[in-house]
């Protein structure tokens, strides 16, 4: 510290003060730690070094939390995130930046600890007030946006909460934010017609939540749902849904005439098909009562129902002959017959041909029947074509060509034979990445590889219903719900293995 001062090296001085505070923190010397850390913050702010300032604001927030000075701690965490966002934006714009952060270790914890502070009971208050709930929701949205930006290495347009709330009120949709905290599962809910956010939490450890979600995914994907037990699906239902159906004023979902549940899931919840959660009282799947969809916390660009658009369709894929899914040929032929789709199959399904087609036709639907993998690593995420993997950057380039020729994006991207990597809790970022890079307003995709016959059946029912309803009001979420309910009633495909993994992301209208 003395040497840094003597040399006039203010960055080193800020680090030295901060590390002295860090050492004092490890010794539980709160007063001394706070003094050093405040000095570090002041120096970092004076030399306009957000990459340093965020660390010491974060440390100061932790110290204030330890001393139960929660309002002051929250302010420091907010300052830490403001500085962190500035650093992240600089990193994205300067791709060769010398400042590199581990998202999991140096970014995510700041957001999560602030959310925990905002939602944890304090001073005898059982539940957070509306201001805290709004801040927690905004912080969660910022975290998810930061995670996706970090994955794609680009700046994205965040969701507009007012737009989302308006869509909720106008379309009977409840927006649910399930959040995993160290000692509880919390849910913030925006219900149609209600100005105030609803909040509830279940005391349960983070490790127990992760174990339960891992069990549920395994049971569903391995078709053990009936043969082992349904306890994980019912437990998660109790955490996320039951409080909304059994409140002091009766069922909040029924009272608000909720028809669609829009999940903005946190962490490992993103790898779970919410449609397969099961009501322990009625023994009904969640999808039997509500349409279910996922939201990525990104801007919904002029969201409109699909029935208001002409159904101009591109059908692409790799058939069994070239190692693709067995049902691919059936799906592509179906789309040709139902919608006079342009067909790119086998050797014709190449990156070059895909780009040419999207550049030359105003497609509203792009259906791809080819194996694809979604992982937490962008370089291994993509869709298989006749000439190799079409990666995230190539998907962006393909669909961006269309946006230059015509400002309207693809309305619906369907990926019928993809999967998220098992055991990779960030694998859903791969699916989100494809959805974002394509620019599609909505994406329908599978979380795991599904039996070819059941996939073909589901797609046939989906597109048949889409054509039948093309001139009448309907939402894509309701359309998918109706098809999944049909499969539940079909003895051959009633198990969640067959229908649950198909999820709708983005605009659910």
Per-residue tokens: 1: 């510290």
Per-residue tokens: 106: 């140096």
Interval 194-252: pLDDT, tens:
999 999 999 999 999 999 999 999 999 998 887 668 999 999 999 999 999 987 667 99
Indicate the pLDDT class of residue 155, thresholds 50, 70 and 90.
confident
Q: Class of the 161-294 domain?
A: alpha beta
Examine the pLDDT at 97 and tell me if it is beyond 50: no
Buried/exposed code over 451-473 (b: 16+ C-beta within 10 A; e: otherwise): bbebbbbbbbbbbebbeeeeeee
Lowest mean pLDDT among 114-128, 166-180, 270-284: 114-128
Mean pLDDT calculated for residue range 59-69: 96
pTM score over 0.85 = yes
Query: Which part of the chain has CATH 1.25.40.10?
Result: 2-152
Query: How much is the pLDDT for 246?
Result: 82
Query: How much is the pLDDT for 96?
Result: 46
Interval 370-399: pLDDT, tens:
999 898 888 889 999 999 999 999 999 888
Q: Class of the 306-474 domain?
A: alpha beta
Indicate the pLDDT class of residue 307, thresholds 50, 70 and 90.
confident
Query: How much is the pLDDT for 407?
Result: 62
Q: Class of the 2-152 domain?
A: mainly alpha
Per-residue tokens: 11: 């960055």
Query: How much is the pLDDT for 304?
Result: 83
Indicate the pLDDT class of residue 100, thresholds 50, 70 and 90.
low
> What's the CA gap between 405 and 368, in Å, rounded?
22
Examine the pLDDT at 55 and tell me if it is beyond 90: yes
Examine the pLDDT at 271 and tell me if it is beyond 80: yes
DSSP string for residues in 346-415: GGG--HHHHHHHHHHS--SEEEEES-EEE-SSGGG-EEEETTEEEEHHHHHHHHHHHHHH-SPPPSEEEE
Query: How much is the pLDDT for 301?
Result: 78
Query: How much is the pLDDT for 123?
Result: 60
Per-residue tokens: 494: 């009633």
Interval 316-341: pLDDT, tens:
999 987 888 888 999 999 999 999 99
Query: Which part of the chain has CATH 3.30.420?
Result: 161-294
> What's the CA gap between 284 and 323, in Å, rounded?
38
DSSP string for residues in 45-90: HHTT-HHHHHHHHHHHHHHHHHTT-HHHHHHHHHHHHHHHHHHHHH
């Amino acid at each position: 510290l003395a040497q840094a001062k003597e040399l006039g090296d203010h960055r080193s001085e800020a680090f030295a003060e901060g590390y002295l505070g860090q050492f004092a923190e490890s010794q539980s010397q709160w007063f001394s730690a706070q003094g050093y850390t405040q000095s570090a913050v002041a120096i970092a702010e004076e030399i306009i070094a957000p990459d340093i300032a965020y660390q010491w604001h974060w440390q100061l927030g932790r110290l204030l939390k330890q001393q139960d000075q929660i309002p002051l701690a929250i302010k420091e965490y907010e300052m830490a995130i403001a500085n962190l966002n500035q650093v992240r934006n600089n990193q994205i714009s300067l791709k060769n930046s010398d400042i590199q952060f581990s998202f999991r270790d140096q970014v995510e914890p700041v957001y999560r600890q602030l959310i925990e502070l905002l939602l944890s009971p304090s001073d005898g208050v059982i539940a957070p007030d509306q201001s805290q709930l709004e801040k927690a929701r905004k912080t969660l949205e910022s975290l998810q946006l930061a995670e996706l930006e970090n994955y794609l290495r680009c700046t994205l347009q965040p969701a507009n909460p007012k737009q989302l709330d308006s869509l909720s009120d106008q379309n009977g949709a409840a927006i649910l934010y399930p959040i995993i905290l160290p000692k509880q599962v919390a849910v913030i809910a925006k219900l149609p017609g209600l100005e105030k956010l609803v909040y509830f939490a279940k005391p349960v450890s983070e490790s127990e939540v992760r174990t339960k979600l891992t069990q549920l995914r395994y049971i569903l994907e391995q078709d053990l749902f009936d043969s082992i037990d349904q306890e994980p699906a019912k437990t998660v239902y109790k955490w996320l849904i039951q409080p909304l159906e059994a409140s002091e004023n009766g069922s909040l979902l029924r009272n608000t005439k909720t028809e669609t549940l829009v999940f903005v899931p946190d962490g490992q919840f993103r790898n779970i098909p919410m449609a397969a959660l099961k009501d322990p009282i009625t023994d009904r799947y969640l999808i039997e009562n509500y349409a279910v969809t996922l939201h990525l916390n990104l801007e919904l660009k002029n969201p409109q129902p699909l029935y208001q658009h002409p159904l101009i369709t591109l059908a692409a894929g790799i058939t069994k002959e070239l190692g693709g899914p067995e049902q691919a040929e059936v799906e592509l032929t179906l789309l040709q017959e139902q919608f006079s789709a342009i067909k790119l199959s086998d050797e014709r399904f190449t990156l070059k041909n895909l780009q040419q087609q999207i550049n030359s036709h105003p497609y509203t639907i792009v259906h791809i029947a080819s194996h694809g993998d979604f992982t937490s690593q962008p370089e291994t995420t993509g869709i298989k074509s006749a000439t190799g993997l079409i990666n995230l950057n190539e998907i962006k380039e393909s669909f961006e060509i269309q946006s230059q020729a015509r400002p309207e994006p693809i309305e619906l991207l369907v990926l019928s034979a993809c999967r998220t990597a098992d055991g990779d809790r960030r694998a859903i970022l791969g699916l989100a990445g494809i959805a974002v890079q394509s620019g599609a307003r909505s994406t329908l995709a599978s979380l795991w590889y599904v039996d070819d016959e059941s996939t073909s059946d589901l797609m046939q029912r989906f597109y048949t219903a889409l054509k039948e309803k093309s001139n009448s009001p309907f939402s894509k979420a309701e359309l998918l719900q109706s098809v999944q309910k049909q499969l539940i009633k079909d003895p051959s495909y009633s198990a969640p293995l067959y229908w649950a993994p198909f999820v709708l992301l983005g605009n659910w209208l």
